[in-house]
Structures are given as structure tokens and as C-alpha cells.
């Protein structure tokens, strides 16, 4: 019981430090700040942390830590609002929550989905902290056992979730994931810096596309456009069904699922380099695979919310392991957190555990406590906030356009962000229309860089080992962990394919005429072909092999799909097209006209700058599309713009400038 003897006194000390009125106050301040920043997709914890950093300097260490931890802890909690209510993946931690959370909101069960999510978050956070308290003492050798082959295998395991999320046609799912992987390679190669499907003449694209933009474009834009075409509220019939209490009951009924997913969250969070991007997908895949009745996934199964949400807060706790004991941040906000710790005089690293175990525990349990505060507050709020889903969507849409454009702009602070958002948005709309799995695409995109880097790095080191001897090489690659992961991956793919037909992450899609799906398939194949030939022209092997391989495989998939299209009748699933019949086809407003409104906002921004563009856009949209009176238009747009200015002013953010701003200097926020 050496472990207990070390842990308990420090734990005692940590609680004595945390449970002071002053520290609790700072923790609460952090939680409130984190919640208010975290609800905005794309801003997230980094913006909030950067905001408080200047004040952390000079604070006493426990207060400073409490403030920062409070902020970090609630981000994966607060971004659930956007995922569930609007179908906007707030951050990489809540991508999978969208799959079932948003359909629940559409069914009028937003409050139930939210409270289930928050109670899962709370539980995940607490379980994570408990596991961590002891694990952090023995974690070092375990973390070090995860070398490149192991990390590559976890990445592959993440990719294998494509099998279960592929939709009705596995081939289409693979092609969608391939598309995601290829879009992820756009820009400078990580290894050698060669340009892939990019040119220095367009500097924006050399950096590649950011996750925020791809997430918003693939999930949020198509959903917003589709809802806007219906001209009704998010919740069908604008009625709220189940309330927040039902969500908590749902969670209690699935507590073992919540436990399993929390443990997945801690384990994956512990491994540096993987970050949070795979956790929620692995948890979602696990949830689906272990469920008996799979028919409701993707259509609003509460388990699809409980699984990923249990894992993502537990992951934050797990992420403290690499952050604190190796000084290697598991995420962007953890990196800022390390910077803040340095300002308080603590260096993250092995010595922190040895010399300052009490501080380490202070951080771990402040995180847990902040989770309780944050999730508790969110549960209380969820009933009220869920009412947003009963508002006529046409009135919400312009504000959502404003928010996602502003969020997208934060990632690169360039007009290119808005152009990229629009282009990815169009891709997302088409993928949704023709039933190409958008989750598969996103998994591919998120894991693209990791898959490429880890496979090359592992290959390089393995070949150096093989030069020493065959045994050394084999020993390096086929470690017990790799073998176990290999088995899990194989099982996950086997069962995934077997079960995929029952699970439709996007719901039923009707089939229609042949032409439109065929044209889209040909366009995607053309992109793969062009990428393939562009990759062959790259001189550095390390930068060309991955895009060449992926695009080759994807082209083969596309060819097989093409053959199937030629040989099948119009009723085959390969011709899925939402515009053929059903909700989308019967919508009172056309797809392109609705998208045109979004385009209008972007074009106006490019000409006049964001704020002036917003004013004009709001006026036109609310008048022509929503048919409001001028007085209400003035009130709504004034409130929207004032709110955005307050937010941007507080966080010290700029707005996209337009042509006008390059000619005349205007005062902030116009210029």
C-alpha cells in the first residue's frame, strides 16, 4: 500500500487547499467564464484561457490554478449546447454528440438530451479524477509503453469506426473517409513541407483546413440550410416533449455504458499525441456495438449522447497525465494551461509529481469539482435553453450564420476562412443529400495527419531496428499492446460491417433519378484522380506516398460504385438522393436559394467588412425571408450585432475586414 501512503496525505493537503472559500470563488469564476465562452463554437477554451492569462501572473498559485482549471474543465461540457441544439459540433470533443443529440432536439427532446449529456459529463469527470488520483503515480511507464506503432494502431482503431458509421453502403463510407483523409492532406506536408493540392500563390491553403471549419462546414451548414428551407422550428411542431428529468433517468439506466465510456476516455486521454479527436468516436462506436437495439442510432438514441459525453470529460482528466508528468500538452487548451502554470512558478514535468504532489492533486480535483459546478449549472439551464428549439428557425438562422462565420474566422483570421467554410459547407450539403457518411468523412479528416505521420515515423524507426536484426524489428512492431489493439480493430471492423446496415447515422434516405448522384460521384472521383497525379509530382517520398495510396484506394472504391450504378436500377441505395422525395424535396424553399443567403453574407463581408455586412444581411433576410416589420428587424439585428461586438471586444478578437476597409480606415468594430 505504498501507493496509498503517498497519495493520501497529498490528497488531504490538496482538499484543504481547494476547499477554501476564496479558491472556490475563483473556481466558480473560471467555470462561469468557461461556460460563457465555451457555448460559442470555435472559440472554446483557448480563447478563454488566453483572456485570463495576463491576470494569472502574480496571483497566488492555488487561486490561479483554480481559475484556469475551472475554465478548462467546462469547455467539453458547455460546447454540448451547440451540438445538441443546433447540430454544430462545438469542438472536437463533441462531434459524435451531434449524431444523436441533434435528432433528439428535432424530436422535441432537447432538454432530455442536454441533461443526459451533462450528467454523463459530470460522472465522466468525477470518475476520471478518481482513476487519475492513483493512476498518475504509476502512469509514467505505462504512457512510455505507447510508442509510435501503438499510437498508429489507436489511430487505425479510430479509423475503423468508419465501418460502423459508413451507412448503408460500406464502399461509400470508405470513399467518404478517403475523401476526409485526402482533404486532411491539403497544404504543406508535415514531414517535408511539400505542397499538396495547394500553391504558395494562395497562402491560405498552404496551412491546410482547420478542424473548426471542416466541422462547421460538414455538419452545421447543411443542417442550418436544411432547417431553414422548412421554415419551422427545430423541434417538430415546436413542442418540447421529455424534460431534463428524463435525461437523468436515461443516464441512470445506462450507468454501465457511462462507466465504460468514461474509462475509454481516461485511457485514450492519457496517451499524448492522440488528443481528444478520436475519443468521442471510439466511445460512440463502442456504444453502438454494445447496444442490443441499434435501430434508433442516428435518429435520436439517448445512448448515442451518453457514450461520447461520458468519455469527453473523462478525457480531460486523462489528458492531465501527459500534460503534468511529461510537460506535453494533450490539447491546445492544455498547452495554454502549461503556459499559465509556468507563470505561477510551476513547471510541468516529472518533478511536479515528485515534488508537488499536493499541487498535482489540487489540479486533478479542481477539475472534478469544476465539472460538478459546470455540469450542475448546465443541467439547471438546460430546460430553459432547450426552448430555443421551439423558436421559428427563420428567426434563428441569421444569428447562426453570424456565429459560425465569426467562429470560422477565428481559426485563421483571414477572409479565406469564410471562403473555406462556404466551400466545405457546399460539400457537406452534397454529402448529406447523396447519403455519403459525414461522420466517416470527419473521422478521416481528423485522423489524416496522425495516420500519415505515425505510419511514416513508425516505418522509419522499424526499418532502423530491422537493420540491427529481424528480431529487434519484430519486437518493436508487434508489442503486446499492438497485438491487442489489432484484435480489437479487427473485431470492430467485422462487427461494424455486419451491423452497419442497421445503423443509419443520417436516417433513411430515399432514392431517385440517376443523374445527380452520378454527377457527384464523378466529381469526387475526379478530385481523387487529380490529387493522385498531383501527389506523383512531389519529389519527397515522405510527402507523396500517403496521398498517393489513399487517393488510389479511394479511386478504386469510386470505380466499384460507378460499376454498381451502371448495373443497378434507380431504386438501388447507391442512388440515394434527399431531393428525390421526402422532407427536403417537399420543403417550401429551394436549396440553392437558401444557400444563396449565406453566400450573400460572405460576399458582403468581403466587400464591406463583417459588421456592416451583418447589418445589411440581417435587414434583408429578416424582411424578405422572415417578413418581419422594420421595428422588430432593427431590434433583433441591433441586439445581435451588439452582442457580437461585446463578445469580440472582451476576447480581443477582430472581425473579417473587406475591400472597404483596405481603402478607408474605419474605427473598430467597423474596420
Within 3-32, the residues that bind other proteins by CB under 8 A are 26, 29
The stretch among 98-106, 227-235, 378-386, 412-420 that binds other proteins (CB under 8 A) is 412-420
Residues 522-581 that bind other proteins (CB under 8 A): 539-542
Concatenating the DSSP letter of every residue in 216-230 gives: IIIIIHHHHHHHHHH
In DSSP terms, 188 is beta-bridged to 195
Q: Is 192 in the site for other proteins (CB under 8 A)?
A: yes
Of these, 239, 596, 654, 659, which contacts other proteins (CB under 8 A)? 654
Q: Is 473 in the site for other proteins (CB under 8 A)?
A: no
Q: Is 193 in the site for other proteins (CB under 8 A)?
A: yes
What would the 3-class secondary structure string for 111-170 be? HHHHHHHHHHHHHHHHHHHHHHHHHHHHHHHHHHCCCHHHHHHHHHHHHHCHHHHCCCCH
Backbone angles phi, psi at 383, to 5 degrees: -60, -45
Is the alpha carbon torsion for 35, 40, 43, 47 positive or negative?
negative
Nearer to other proteins, 275 or 298 (CB): 275
- What span, in angstroms and rounded, lies between the C-alpha atoms of 106 and 239? 10
Residues 43-62 that bind other proteins (CB under 8 A): 46, 49-60
Nearer to other proteins, 31 or 224 (CB): 31
Cβ 91 to other proteins, closest distance in Å? 14
Of these, 99, 336, 418, 576, which contacts other proteins (CB under 8 A)? 336
> Omega into 372 within 30° of 0, i.e. cis?
no
Of these, 376, 412, 510, 582, which contacts other proteins (CB under 8 A)? 412
The stretch among 162-170, 185-193, 379-387, 420-428 that binds other proteins (CB under 8 A) is 185-193
Residues 143-172 that bind other proteins (CB under 8 A): 144, 146-148
- What span, in angstroms and rounded, lies between the C-alpha atoms of 263 and 128? 7
**Lookup: cell for 581:** 422525395
Q: Is 494 in the site for other proteins (CB under 8 A)?
A: no
Q: What is the pairing mode between strands 195-196 and 187-188?
A: antiparallel
Of these, 77, 437, 453, 489, which contacts other proteins (CB under 8 A)? 453
Nearer to other proteins, 11 or 66 (CB): 66
Characterise 164 by phi-psi region: left (phi > 0), alpha (psi -120 to 50), beta (else).
Answer: alpha
Cβ 533 to other proteins, closest distance in Å? 19
- What span, in angstroms and rounded, lies between the C-alpha atoms of 495 and 492? 5
Nearest to 283 by CA among 148, 119, 93: 93
Residues 593-652 that bind other proteins (CB under 8 A): 646, 649-650, 652
Q: Is 469 in the site for other proteins (CB under 8 A)?
A: no
Mask for 260-289, x = binds other proteins (CB under 8 A): ------------xx----------------
Cβ 335 to other proteins, closest distance in Å? 3
Of these, 457, 479, 499, 534, which contacts other proteins (CB under 8 A)? 457
- What span, in angstroms and rounded, lies between the C-alpha atoms of 46 and 27? 17
Nearer to other proteins, 129 or 644 (CB): 644
Nearer to other proteins, 164 or 370 (CB): 370
Classified as helix, coil or strand, 188 is strand
Of these, 171, 259, 335, 660, which contacts other proteins (CB under 8 A)? 335
Residue 534: which residues within 8 A CB-CB, separation 6 or more?
196, 197, 547
**Lookup: cell for 152:** 498508429
Characterise 478 by phi-psi region: left (phi > 0), alpha (psi -120 to 50), beta (else).
Answer: beta
The C-alpha torsion from 338 through 344 and 348 to 349, rounded to 10°, is 160
Cβ 586 to other proteins, closest distance in Å? 44
Mask for 207-226, x = binds other proteins (CB under 8 A): x-------------------
Residues 342-401 that bind other proteins (CB under 8 A): 342-343, 345, 347-351, 354
Cβ 191 to other proteins, closest distance in Å? 4
Amino acid at each position: 500500500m505504498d501507493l496509498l501512503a503517498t497519495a493520501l496525505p497529498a490528497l488531504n493537503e490538496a482538499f484543504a487547499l481547494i476547499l477554501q472559500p476564496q479558491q472556490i470563488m475563483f473556481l466558480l469564476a473560471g467555470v462561469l467564464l468557461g461556460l460563457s465562452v465555451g457555448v460559442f463554437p470555435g472559440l472554446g477554451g483557448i480563447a478563454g484561457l488566453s483572456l485570463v492569462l495576463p491576470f494569472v501572473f502574480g496571483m497566488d498559485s492555488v487561486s490561479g490554478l483554480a481559475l484556469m482549471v475551472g475554465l478548462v474543465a467546462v469547455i467539453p461540457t458547455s460546447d454540448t449546447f451547440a451540438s445538441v441544439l443546433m447540430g454544430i459540433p462545438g469542438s472536437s470533443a463533441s462531434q459524435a454528440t451531434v449524431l444523436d443529440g441533434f435528432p433528439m432536439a428535432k424530436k422535441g427532446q432537447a432538454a432530455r438530451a442536454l441533461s443526459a449529456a451533462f450528467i454523463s459529463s459530470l460522472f465522466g469527470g468525477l470518475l476520471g479524477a478518481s482513476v487519475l488520483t492513483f493512476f498518475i503515480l504509476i502512469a509514467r511507464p505505462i504512457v512510455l509503453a505507447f510508442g509510435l506503432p501503438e499510437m498508429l494502431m489507436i489511430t487505425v482503431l479510430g479509423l475503423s469506426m468508419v465501418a460502423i458509421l459508413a451507412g448503408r453502403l460500406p464502399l461509400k463510407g470508405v470513399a467518404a473517409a478517403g475523401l476526409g483523409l485526402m482533404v486532411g492532406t491539403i497544404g504543406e506536408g508535415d514531414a517535408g513541407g511539400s505542397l499538396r493540392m495547394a500553391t504558395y500563390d494562395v497562402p491560405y491553403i498552404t496551412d491546410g483546413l482547420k478542424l473548426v471549419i471542416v466541422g462547421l462546414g460538414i455538419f452545421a451548414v447543411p443542417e442550418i440550410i436544411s432547417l431553414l428551407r422548412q421554415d419551422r422550428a427545430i423541434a417538430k411542431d415546436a413542442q418540447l416533449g421529455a424534460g431534463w428529468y428524463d435525461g437523468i433517468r436515461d443516464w441512470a439506466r445506462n450507468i454501465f455504458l457511462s462507466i465504460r465510456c468514461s474509462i475509454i476516455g481516461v485511457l485514450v486521454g492519457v496517451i499524448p499525441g492522440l488528443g481528444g479527436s478520436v475519443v468521442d468516436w471510439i466511445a460512440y462506436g463502442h456504444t453502438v456495438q454494445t447496444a442490443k437495439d441499434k435501430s434508433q442510432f442516428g435518429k435520436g438514441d439517448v445512448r448515442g449522447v451518453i457514450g461520447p459525453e461520458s468519455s469527453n470529460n473523462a478525457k480531460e482528466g486523462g489528458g492531465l497525465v501527459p500534460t503534468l508528468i511529461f510537460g506535453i500538452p494533450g490539447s491546445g487548451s492544455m498547452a495554454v494551461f502549461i503556459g499559465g502554470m509556468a507563470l505561477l512558478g510551476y513547471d510541468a514535468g516529472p518533478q511536479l509529481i515528485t515534488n508537488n504532489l499536493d499541487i498535482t492533486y489540487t489540479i486533478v480535483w479542481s477539475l472534478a469539482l469544476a465539472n460538478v459546478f459546470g455540469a450542475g449549472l448546465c443541467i439547471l439551464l438546460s430546460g430553459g435553453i432547450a426552448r430555443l428549439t421551439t423558436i421559428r428557425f427563420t428567426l434563428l438562422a441569421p444569428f447562426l450564420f453570424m456565429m459560425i462565420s465569426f467562429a470560422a474566422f477565428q481559426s485563421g483570421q483571414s477572409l479565406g476562412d469564410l471562403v473555406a467554410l462556404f466551400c466545405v459547407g457546399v460539400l457537406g450539403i452534397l454529402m448529406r443529400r447523396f447519403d455519403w457518411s459525414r461522420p466517416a468523412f470527419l473521422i478521416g479528416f481528423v485522423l489524416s495527419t496522425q495516420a500519415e505521420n505515425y505510419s511514416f515515423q513508425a516505418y522509419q524507426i522499424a526499418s532502423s531496428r530491422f537493420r540491427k536484426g529481424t528480431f529487434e524489428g519484430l519486437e518493436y512492431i508487434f508489442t503486446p499492446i499492438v497485438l491487442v489493439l489489432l484484435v480489437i480493430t479487427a473485431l470492430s471492423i467485422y462487427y461494424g460491417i455486419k451491423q452497419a446496415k442497421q445503423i443509419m447515422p443520417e436516417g433513411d434516405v430515399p432514392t431517385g433519378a440517376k443523374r445527380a448522384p452520378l454527377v457527384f460521384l464523378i466529381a469526387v472521383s475526379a478530385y481523387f484522380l487529380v490529387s493522385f497525379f498531383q501527389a506523383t509530382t512531389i519529389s519527397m517520398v515522405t510527402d507523396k506516398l500517403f496521398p498517393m495510396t489513399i487517393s488510389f484506394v479511394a479511386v478504386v472504391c469510386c470505380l466499384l460504385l460507378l460499376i454498381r450504378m451502371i448495373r443497378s436500377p434507380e431504386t438501388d441505395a447507391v442512388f440515394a438522393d434527399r431531393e428525390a422525395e421526402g422532407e427536403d424535396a417537399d420543403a417550401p424553399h429551394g436549396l440553392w436559394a437558401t444557400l444563396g443567403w449565406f453566400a450573400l453574407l460572405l460576399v458582403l463581408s468581403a466587400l464591406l467588412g463583417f459588421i456592416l455586412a451583418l447589418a445589411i444581411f440581417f435587414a434583408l433576410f429578416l424582411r424578405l425571408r422572415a417578413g418581419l416589420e422594420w421595428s422588430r428587424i432593427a431590434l433583433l439585428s441591433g441586439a445581435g450585432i451588439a452582442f457580437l461586438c461585446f463578445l469580440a471586444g472582451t476576447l480581443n478578437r477582430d472581425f473579417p475586414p473587406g475591400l472597404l476597409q483596405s481603402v478607408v480606415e474605419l474605427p473598430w468594430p467597423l474596420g
